[in-house]
Chains A and B, each alone.
Chain A
């Protein structure tokens, strides 16, 4: 892949962290895009905001810790992380305690983000 092939990808994450394997799959896609140096952004919406809860103890159910995976996003140079503020408020998720730093967006912010990307991968 050369520089002219770069397309911005927005990964929209709507899955709760431990309800299915799709939560992990969506993050794997984001990490792969970053590894291959494609510009990638993440947007947490709906049930997906539950991935942002602090102190996830997934070992008890024998599943990899999604919170810890999110905390590693800056190591992959993924810094464009967004959350639908309304969904976070709906679920009572305290974003100041989230495993990764992110920007909260209102409805029109979400719309702009989606309209501005080349590809939208919806999970």
Chain B
């Protein structure tokens, strides 16, 4: 079965984004596939490359990078949500004359059409957070 995920909440508020990443790993372990993870609203903070987590707390970005690297899971940050939160990749930073990228390269900045497309191409779309 093809799954896609929609993540709405900030990675540092509650445990929803961690649950979402764990869910994605389970889905793959059970032989299903993750078509795409779409981060919207405060969920876009998940891609923050400069986030520093205390040693006794879980790293909130690492599980996503592993999903992208090990299973080629597509991680999309909603562009309108991301930009107003200062979440920029290299090309957006250049376009808007900001100092540099603030988003980890495992994440892609794109539009809401990617969420609509994920709905069309997935058997299940699961929402986390909000």
Q: Chain A: residues with CB nearer than 8 A to chain B? A: 1, 5-7, 9, 15, 21-22, 25, 28-29, 32-33, 35-36, 38, 118-123
21 residue pairs of the A-B complex, CB under 8 angstroms, read A1-B117, A1-B120, A6-B120, A9-B116, A21-B42, A21-B81, A22-B41, A22-B130, A25-B81, A28-B80, A28-B112, A29-B40, A29-B116, A36-B116, A36-B117, A119-B122, A120-B125, A121-B119, A121-B125, A122-B130, A123-B130
**Residue of A whose beta carbon sits closest to that of B121:** A5
Alpha-carbon distance between A38 and B113 when the two chains are bound, in angstroms: 11
- Bound CA span A122–B6, Å: 10
Q: How many A-B residue pairs have CB under 8 A?
A: 56
Told that A21-B41, A28-B80, A29-B115 touch, could you supply 15 new A-B pairs with CB distance under 8 A? A5-B120, A6-B120, A9-B116, A9-B119, A21-B42, A21-B81, A32-B113, A32-B115, A33-B116, A33-B119, A36-B113, A36-B116, A120-B125, A120-B127, A123-B127
Shortest C-beta distance, A100 to chain B (Å), equals 20
Q: Considering the chains assembled together, what is the distance between the CA atoms of A122 and B125 in angstroms?
A: 10
Shortest A27–chain B CB gap in Å is 11
Question: How many positions in chain B have a CB within 8 Å of any CB in the partner chain?
Answer: 21
Q: How far is the CA of A35 from the CA of B114 in the complex (A)?
A: 12
A118 CA / B113 CA spacing, docked (Å): 18
Closest chain A residue to B124 by CB distance? A119
* Chain B residues within an 8 Å CB radius of A32: 111-113, 115-116
Across the interface, do B40 and A25 meet the contact criterion of CB distance under 8 Å? Answer: yes
Most buried by B among A9, A15, A119, A122: A119
For residue B8, CB closer than 8 A to chain A, the reply is yes
With a CB–CB cut-off of 8 A, which chain A residues contact B40?
25, 29
Known: A21-B41, A28-B112. A38 touches B120 (CB 8 A): yes
